[in-house]
Chain A
Amino acid sequence: MRLIVPLQAVVQGRGGLVLGSLIPCALFYLLQLYLRRNRPSSSSSPPTSSASASDLVELATIPRSLSRGLLSPRGAGGPARLSSRGVAVARDDDNPYYVGLKRCPEDPYHPSSNPRGFLQLGLAENLLTLDLIRDWLVSNWKESLLLDEEEEFSIRGLATYQPYDGLMELKMAIAEFMGQIMQESVLFNPSQIVLTGGATPAVEILSFCLADPGNAFLVPSPYYPGWDRDIKWRTGIELIPVPCRSTNNFSISIASLERAYNQAKKRGVKVRAVLVSNPSNPVGNLIDRDKLYDLLEFVSEKNIHLISDEIFAGSIYGSDKFVSVAEIVDAESFDRSRVHIVYGLSKDLSVPGFRVGVIYSYNEIVLAAASKLARFSSISAPTQRLLVSMLSDRKFISEYLIINRDRLQNMHALFVDGLKQLGIKCASSSGGLYCWADMSKFIQSYSEKGELKLWEKLLNVAKINVTPGSSCHCIEHGWFRCCFTTLEEKDIPIVIERIRRITESNLVS
């Protein structure tokens, strides 16, 4: 991918299409010859011990399209082969986003028992209001279960097969919850909801419905690193980052979208949707009403879809009001069948372990297909029952949302202030569980390499896991996403102090 873009630039304008395709092909072919020559010879009998993942990776670096010609169909002997998809997934471990996530649980910080442990600022998880949920369960546990006439726990209704796309009662409860979050500016229709086991399968299922392998989505960057897995892995869809810049606080630029669309077209790639997150992950800013309108106009003009991931809609701490794309669709006369919303309870309700995701679509065919696809990722029945009870308690939910907002506001202010004292400015943000911090003046060389060096120091020396902008496809270097909702107030000075030690030694004069 990195090779092709500069090549295009070189050959553009001079028989560009021909040279632009011949040169990469030639290079590719030469690469295959090189790899084939250097491929380790496979043993004649299958090894008795299981082949390690790295062996398999090495052998499978030859792309599938060419391997059919190189390998005989009988394929006897040699280690067992995974699919090319399987190989790509098995080896996908190098992204700093995941490396950091893995290190922290191995040596987690604890104020008294492990004060030198890792502080996890790379996972957008909200622990600030978990106590409220626990308290609700304590006082309502009887109601939260399916009880029969004798007030005994009844498994019969829970154990048996349920509709794969979720219980209607839960769809209704979630539709109401989503309305509550958006301050009743939108009325959500439960029959336009498909429930899935988490927002991860929700976005994958939606992708499977909207595009074929080889098609692409335009994604304003920086964007959530998880999409590179959730969307690209099994669907075969390409994600084309459309860079946003700090000069306008990383707002989406329709002109950039237009440019990216045309570039894709020139390459022969069909763009099928624009995928945005609102509130943005990782920046935390909101897409305002006008911009949403412009986006809808853009996708209508190009006859493509708009997917809006609004999973942080209930985590607003700023003064700006959150506007869902659903609000615009309701008010204006756009073709609704191209609008789809992804949601989930992992962020706003702090229950990622329960695995609850939502696809909200105005397109009947998409809903029909998604509800059938939901069979691969349904929500466990006992969990659905529990959530129906909890979400139906409107009083509790209202109180919860207010307290959650206050605590978010508080933590955000403290954290951003702390960073300010170190000379680190954050992008202006109103929502999410994190802030987007500019540490560019602390990286030695203004490049991705420099940024990763700083990230490594923060991880290995300061033992803080933050997410580097390069994992999020940010075109500017030195930006880091720092989640503050996994911390307690008293942890903030410790975090700031640890960062200070790194920044002081790293200050570029």
Chain B
Amino acid sequence: MGIHHVDEINSSCLLLSRVATNDGHGENSSYFDGWKAYDSNPFHPTRNPEGVIQMGLAEHQLCLGTMQEWIRKNPKASICTEEGLSQFKDIANFQDYHGLPQFRKAIAKFMGKVRGGRAEFDADRVVMSGGATGAQETLAFCLANPGEAFLIPTPYYPAFDRDFRWRTGVQLLPIHCHSINNFKITETALMTAYRRALKSNIKVKGILVTNPSNPLGTTMDRATLRTLARFANENNIHLICDEIFGGTVFDGPEFASISTVLEDDPRLNRDLFHIAYSLSKDLGVPGFRVGIIYSYNDAVVSCARKMSSFGLVSTQTQHLLAAMLGDDEFTTKLLAESRRQLSRRHAVFTSGLERVGIRCLESNAGLFFWMNLKHLLKAATVEAELELWRVIIHKVKLNISPGSAFHCSEPGWFRVCFANMDDGTMEVALRRIRAFVYEANERGTTSAQTTKNKKRFDRTLRLSLPRRFDHDLMTTMTPRLMSPHSPLVKAAN
């Protein structure tokens, strides 16, 4: 018994696939280096008050109490209660990839609600997937062949490089956005990216956007969305809108979903539009693994539904969520509570940071904000950004995510998550940032200090920039799986 190690395998030359041996999994990205630092020294209010605070995981934990209350009041929804058991037989062996009809209806209803009732969703177009991760991958499989590409505005969620490209062989090409206009997508940038692809003989099959944006935390304005839709329509390419943060919009302007744009403009070819969704952010239940593909294209619905066998949602979970999301009163209460909590958190953080001269991109959604630390960089380079980031991880002990991990074209931006901690931890985080900024101001620059620290801490943190997919490298084995470990669970234990 026992597992065979690398040397023995190499010596027997037992071949494995490219997928198994390349670094398409992306865990060598700096996005995950911070997580590793957190994992090895996690913050705990009493047991480890000097530990690293996790601000790199976009998890929504502010409304779990509301959900818990509902579950307590509705024991029938959980089939593991006496009241719920009557449905057990039908649930335990139901494996139809259409999913429970009541589940699909509840999802369609909830999606409509998140959009303030401005759009209606058809339950028959709701397709399950293994989390939003699975939704993105399935759409890539359905819409593009290996080697073909999707355009994506920067900065973007680092895991797209893995979720969208790893097994599918599809490429992601950047549409560069800049802070000068708050990182909005311009038609020029879109055209430039598209033409560059054509010149390199790469077939562009579509555009992938996240709205509200991760990491920016902003909702896309209607005009930009319409521009994207028209561009897709004119060039006969697909538009995938990842609307996973749709329910986290806590401030104006109102969330404009692609569904409303489609309803406004009947000339658009609906076959080109698809929504990726999940309950992981809006409801704060990433552990339930509920991913949704909603496509306006019948063939895509059919294809994705068949592929959903690879990522079906457990019927026990479907049953629970069907009841929960079907309860109108509850969902109204939950969404309102969520917005209230997020708005409050966001205000406390951004005002706290402003007091020490740190500006953030103005945002109205998401579980994070996009922080500008350009003025603290030694130079306007990615290396300087990563140097500052290492200081923040090791000296300030906050795991925040550097902009370069998100392919941001300007160094100095950082994504900071705020919805995965309690108020006490939030205060500690703010205190640490204030202390760091005062110290930095006193010394003029941070360079003298960081060079010394760099020698001491460099061993543990590798400088790693996101790599392109087409390297065929034998990867060094990552000793620990990069699964997000929720800090609140750790704190509670």
Contact = CB atoms under 8 A, between A and B. Distances in A.
B312 to A, nearest CB: 5
Given A50-B271, A208-B20, A364 B3 contact: yes
A189 interface: yes
7 contacts: A82-B142, A152-B68, A208-B17, A230-B309, A337-B9, A364-B9, A380-B288
A7 interface: no
B488 interface: yes
A158 B287 contact: yes
A137 B81 CA distance: 8
Interface of B: 1-6, 8-9, 12-21, 25, 27, 57, 59, 61, 64, 67-68, 71-72, 78-82, 85, 88-89, 91-96, 130-131, 133-134, 137, 141-146, 148, 163, 166-168, 198, 201, 203, 205, 233-238, 266-267, 269-272, 284-290, 296-300, 302-303, 306-307, 309-317, 320, 477-478, 481-486, 488-489, 492
Interface of A: 46-48, 50-53, 56, 64, 68, 73-87, 89-90, 92, 105, 125, 127, 130, 133-134, 137-138, 141, 144-145, 152-165, 187, 189, 191-192, 197-198, 200-201, 204, 208-213, 215, 229-230, 233-235, 272, 303, 305, 330, 335-338, 346, 350-355, 362-369, 371-373, 375-383, 386
Nearest to A47: B269
Contacts of B482: 372
A189 to B, nearest CB: 6
A46 B13 CA distance: 52
B12 A337 contact: yes
Contacts of B61: 156, 160
Contacts of B144: 83
A449 to B, nearest CB: 27
A154 B68 contact: yes
Nearest to B170: A83
B236 A75 contact: yes
A48 B89 contact: no
Contacts of A368: 477-478
B205 to A, nearest CB: 7
Contacts, number: 339
B92 A363 contact: no
Most chain B beta carbons < 10 A, residue from A64, A77, A346, A382: A382
B285 A159 contact: yes
Contacts of B78: 145, 153, 382
Contact of A234 (B141, B234, B312, B477): B141
A373 B22 CA distance: 13
A192 B2 CA distance: 8
A208 to B, nearest CB: 5
Contact of A152 (B3, B18, B72, B297): B72
A75 B203 CA distance: 9
B13 A303 contact: yes
Contact of A83 (B68, B143, B311): B143
Contacts of A155: 64, 67-68, 71
A47 B27 CA distance: 43
Given A200-B309, A208-B20, A353-B93, A160 B72 contact: no
B432 to A, nearest CB: 24
Nearest to B4: A337
A234 B20 CA distance: 15
Given A369-B20, A382-B78, 5 more contacts: A152-B72, A197-B289, A211-B17, A373-B166, A375-B130
Contacts of B143: 82-83, 86
B483 A164 contact: yes
A154 B65 CA distance: 9
B203 A73 contact: yes
Contacts of B59: 160-161
A208 B4 contact: no
Contacts of A64: 145
Contact of B477 (A303, A346, A364): A364
B169 to A, nearest CB: 8
Nearest to A74: B235
A386 B316 contact: yes
Contacts of A81: 205, 236
B271 to A, nearest CB: 4
Contacts of B312: 197-198, 355
A303 B489 contact: no
Given A337-B12, A368-B477, A159 B299 contact: no
Nearest to B166: A373
B311 A377 contact: yes
Nearest to B298: A50
A226 B406 CA distance: 39
A86 B297 CA distance: 12
Contacts of A200: 309-310
A383 B57 CA distance: 24
B486 A137 contact: no
Q: Which A-B residue pairs are the 5 nearest by beta carbons? A: A381-B287, A353-B315, A160-B486, A369-B20, A380-B314
B298 A76 contact: no
Nearest to B140: A83
B17 A210 contact: yes
A288 to B, nearest CB: 22
A127 to B, nearest CB: 7
Contacts of A51: 271, 298-299
Given A159-B286, A162-B483, A353-B92, A337 B309 contact: no
A64 B25 CA distance: 27
Most chain A beta carbons < 10 A, residue from B57, B79, B201: B79
Contacts of A125: 93
A272 B54 CA distance: 42
Most chain A beta carbons < 10 A, residue from B4, B6, B270: B4
A234 B167 contact: yes
Given A46-B269, A89-B306, A138-B82, A210 B16 contact: yes
Contact of B310 (A73, A159, A204, A335): A204
